[in-house]
Amino acid sequence: MFRLIKSDYRAYGLSPKGLIISFFNASTFWLVVMYRIGHALHVKRVPLVPRIIRSAGIIFYGAEISYGAEIGPGFRIAHSVGVVIGTKVNAGANLEVFQNVTIGGRDQERNGQIKPIIGDNVTIFTGAVVAGPVIIGDNVSVGANSVVTKDIEADVIVAGAPARPVGKVEVAHSLRSMSV
């Protein structure tokens, strides 16, 4: 858990002083920390506490992030209001979401999968919806107000309702190039 929180801290680019200040101005970094704690307790089968933590996220940040979601390191929420991430969502490293993003199921199943699987280095912009048993590849940007209900290949920018590829993600823009 602490390794994940450390990578989230780096994703936010906070200095030690900034970390302290962020506590007092309710930075969304602390919402991510709350999710990490709730998820760790859920994995250890601690009853009730993960639900209380999730509820605190709703009350203080206006965001519902299920403790049953699996989100990789470097998770960043740009603006928390209206964010919903459902149970059993599986996301890779460096997921970034903006306000009013919904990631969850839609009562359909495909090969035993009911929730989205999201690759590494994915950004989901304001108002976008990722629904159902879809797979989003690595290095994808989902445009504002897009609706993703079908698989998205890697290294693309998608937009629209339904979401369609509108461009390619530049390799230099990708976080992948920073880790080499």
Structure tokens at 76: 């960043």
CATH no. for residue 61?
Answer: 2.160.10.10
The chain-wide mean pLDDT, for the chain, equals 91
Give the residue-averaged pLDDT of 120-143.
96
**Could you give the number of structural domains in the chain?**
1
Q: Indicate if the pLDDT at residue 177 is higher than 70.
A: no
Q: Which domain holds residue 156?
A: 2-179
164 SS3 class: strand
Region for 12 from its dihedrals, namely left if φ exceeds 0, alpha if ψ lies in -120 to 50, beta otherwise = alpha
Q: What angle do CA 163, 169, 175 make, to 5 degrees?
A: 120
Over the stretch 55-94, which tens digit does the pLDDT of each residue have? 999 999 999 999 999 999 999 999 999 999 999 999 999 9
